[in-house]
Amino acid sequence: MKKLGPLDIYRHLPKTNCGECGEKTCMAFASQIIERALTLKDCPYLKGKNMEALVKMTAPAVRQVIFGKKLPTKIGGEDVLYRHELTYFNETAIAIDVDDQMAEDELLNRVNYVSHFNHERIGQELTLQAVAVKNTSQHPDVFAECVGKVAQNTDKPLILCSFLPESLQAALDVCDDRPLLYAATKDTWERIGEIAREHDCPVVAFADNDLSELKSVVNALQSMGLKDIAVDPGTHPENFTTTLNNFVQIRRTSTSEDEILNCPLIGIPGAFSDPMEEVMAASVMINRFADLIIFHNISMFAVLPIITLRQNIYTDPRRPVAVEAGLRTFGNPTKDSPLLATTNFALTYYTVASDIESAGIDCYLLVFDTEGLGVQASVAGGQLDAYKAKESMEAANAAEQVDHKKIIIPGMAARISGELEHITKWEVLVGPKDSSGIPEYIEKRWND
Amino acid sequence: MDIKQLIQLLEGTGEIELENVDIFAEELELFMSAAEAAAKPVVGYRELEYELPLEEYPGEIPVVKFGNTKGEGGTRSHSLYVGGEKTMPFYRFEHENPHRPVIAFDVFDMKIGLAKPVKVHYKEVLEDPAEWAKLCVEKFGADMVTIHLISTDPLLKDTPVNEAVKTVEEVLQAVKVPIVIGGSGNPDKDPEVLEKAAAVAEGERVMLNSASLNLDYKRVAQAAMDYGHVVLSWTQLDINDQKTLNRHLFDMGVERENMLIDPTTAALGYGLEYSFSMMERMRGAALKGDKDLQCPIASGTTNAWGAREAWMKESPTEGETWGDRMKRGPLWEAVSALTLGLAGCNLFMMMCPTSVQLFREMIAQLSEDKEMKPAADWITRGGN
């Protein structure tokens, strides 16, 4: 594991504390570099030997590979094995597969699905990154025709999947968007490496459950001068333990500064034939270091858990669990507008806020200080009770904000309502258990 | 020659040999910047050896046993074991951890509201905890059953303790698998409920769920010690709280072989990453030797059903679909379980039989070797 401290960086900085990077001191800049909050280019005076040394020092343990020109997708670039050790940086890219023997309408349907997929979830837009085109026919011409069709219909980057050099060559004649080439093997590394070099494309090295061979293939590709290399140690639906163990070994090797296998990892849950199992396999891969997965099922029941898990795992753990407590306003509330309440657990808060915003409700939201716990947990743990709720209402001067002396508390906090009424003399309304019910609640119970 | 030209020349070259070259210090620096090009390996395929990146772990997780059989003072048909890990879950290249994750099905002592994909399995038994427990074991193959005495909550039915613990006896009669006994979450009443429950289950080696910092955990832990049970040390997503509570319990005399820890399970999409990293951190620390955290881990995975994507029939946003709820819901619980299983969780309290089945299949996949087909075939096969 690479362990850099700010001092290691500082040694190579100008040490003038000029402030042009936005930080007060060079030492502060060094810390920001470690956190990847700033980049080396943010220092206008960093040049020559020092710049080179720093570029090398700060290179991530897993090399970052970018494919696609119109909508570039970054994979790899990770520094740590476990997210709590720092954070993960580039979320697992999700590609949807198509094959060159699909009926045209199905093909285009899947391609459009990837292009237009956009699921808004707790203030983030979750998307799919790429289309993986499989050379199922094994014919270069059929493949090229299919790739051409896909490329014409989407700006998303492509992954060209064939073990035949002539197929990849043919496909590159109709797609110049810097696709990812899948895959070079022990037998084809030279020809596919040539193609990758000629078209300046990143390439995947593949070896089936043989990490020595995989390392040798990567090394051979590197010997040709290629740098943008990802690896696939093989996805085994019948024997998935192999795949997981290979993933773990490779990633552990890269985080111990291996110069050859420091490559982004590719997993293929789409190789599973059962859609539910495919979701489970993809979950293992997202949790265990995959930088890119190729997925097949495009039913929302299958895609939703995957993109949600990815959103979770790739959340920066350094981000605070709690938002600031206190009174917030949404829209343009008046003294007659509803006053709602929630907890300061970041996820609860953002979920509630996004439900209120998307419904366009004018209201106040009182954020209780529950020490960063959700409603159910804080009521169970005593971080939220009637007395603490009352304190928050007083601290926020709630009585000055609204005339009606009514507060809507979360449905999950129903058990504090009686006591809260008693000690505040306010009318305590019990809102919905899930904040998605707020718009309807306001519509039916408040506006009437 | 200009150094740039030299680099350009070198770029197309696979191999260079330097003969009769003297290197002076001044030049050495210049040479270094060209080193990348110059040091390029010979173009070609060389058989390289991959070295297993093995790690040494000074720590180990103790094995905890659930359930006593007749010869041991209980009436269970068999015992179950969790723990014994010497590496992270399923890292079989490093070590074969001895026990697979165990799944305890949730049973409640009163009728509760359930999402449809769960309810369809239990609607006949929702008012009969003994039958409910039986169904879990006989039809769904539950390893264990948790009887949650939620009706004791003063805000629900306020069932008197002596009456509530009769349900425990009924469940012990109805099923022969090891059981877990849970309270209602009411901090004032739970210690008494769990004390009495521990007494009626004497000798059975159940797990008491739970001792926590927001109730009189000493009473719960003492009851576990007095009647020969396991105790669950439950905290809320705070590793320091977990260490503190564990230390208190160890200081009281709770043996390592009689305790599990539960750092709280947040649902997929609603903070699962906190639980995931908490467990991963705790297990990592335990393997590295932190004795305060050397315990098997438990999860209330059923919490996954609190996520709206799990329980709701359809997306509340107009024009948006979330897909088949009968698949989506079970996947929500199964993916939550799997994620925590990879982080180090040993005991899963779950609810939906479909989720359990999906999770178990994946555990089996990750725990044993089977015959393999060539992985490269995925390209020539059609889609699923």
Classify burial at B126, counting beta carbons within 10 Å of its beta carbon; exposed 0-12, middle 13-18, buried 19 or more.
middle
The residue among A97, A222, A244 with the most chain B CBs within 10 A of its CB, best to mutate, is A244
How far apart CA A340 and CA A351 sit, in angstroms, is: 14
Is the pLDDT confidence value at B19 over 70? no
Residue B150, pLDDT score:
96
Classify burial at A190, counting beta carbons within 10 Å of its beta carbon; exposed 0-12, middle 13-18, buried 19 or more.
middle
How far apart CA A232 and CA A132 sit, in angstroms, is: 14
What domains appear along chain A, each with residue ranges and CATH number?
6-58 (1.10.15.40), 64-313 (3.20.20.20), 326-446 (3.40.50.11600)
How sure is the predictor about B11, in pLDDT bands with cuts at 50, 70 and 90? low
Residue B16, pLDDT score:
54
Crossing angle of helices A240-255/A211-223, nearest 10°?
50
Is the pLDDT confidence value at B33 over 50? no
Residue B31, pLDDT score:
45
Q: In this structure, is the dihedral angle defined by the CA atoms of residues A430, A432, A437 and A440, taken in order, positive or negative?
A: negative
The answer to whether the peptide bond before residue A435 is cis (omega within 30 degrees of 0) is no
Is the pLDDT confidence value at B27 over 50? no
The CATH superfamily of B63-367 is: Dihydropteroate synthase-like (3.20.20.20)
Residues of chain A with pLDDT under 70: 1-3
Q: Would you tell me which residues 107-146 of chain A have a C-beta closer than 8 angstroms to some C-beta of chain B?
A: 119, 121-122, 134-136, 138
Q: Which of A366-380, A383-397, B26-40, B369-383 has the highest mean pLDDT?
A: A383-397
What does pLDDT average to over chain B? Answer: 91
Is the pLDDT confidence value at B118 over 60? yes
Residues in A closer than 8 angstroms to B92, CB to CB, are 241, 245
Residue bearing the bigger pLDDT, B21 or B137: B137
How sure is the predictor about B35, in pLDDT bands with cuts at 50, 70 and 90? very low
> Which pair of structure tokens corresponds to residue B240?
């320091």
Is the pLDDT confidence value at B50 over 60? yes
> Which pair of structure tokens corresponds to residue B375?
């992985």
The per-residue pLDDT for range B130-166, each reduced to its tens digit, is 999 999 999 999 999 999 999 999 988 999 999 999 9
Residue B382, pLDDT score:
64
Contact between residue A197 and residue A186 where contact means Cβ atoms under 8 Å apart: no
> Which of A62, A120, A69 minimizes the C-alpha distance to A92?
A62
Q: Would you tell me which residues 254-293 of chain A have a C-beta closer than 8 angstroms to some C-beta of chain B?
A: 256, 260-261, 268, 270-281, 283-284, 287-288
ipTM of the assembly? 0.89
Give the residue on A whose Cα is nearest the Cα of B54: A249
* β pairing state of B63-66 and B80-83: antiparallel
Q: Count H helices and E strands in chain B, helices first.
A: 13, 10
Domain ranges of chain B: 3-38, 63-367
How far apart CA B121 and CA B124 sit, in angstroms, is: 8
Please state the rounded mean pLDDT for residues B103-125.
97
pTM for the full predicted model: 0.89
Please state the rounded mean pLDDT for residues B96-121.
97
The per-residue pLDDT for range B226-280, each reduced to its tens digit, is 999 999 999 988 899 999 999 999 999 999 999 999 999 999 998 999 999 999 9
Asked if A223 lies within 8 A of B379 by C-beta distance, the reply is: no
Specify the length of chain B in residues: 384
3-class DSSP assignment, residue B115: coil
Q: Would you tell me which residues 348-387 of chain A have a C-beta closer than 8 angstroms to some C-beta of chain B?
A: 348, 351, 358, 372-374, 376-377, 380-382
Residue A123, pLDDT score:
76
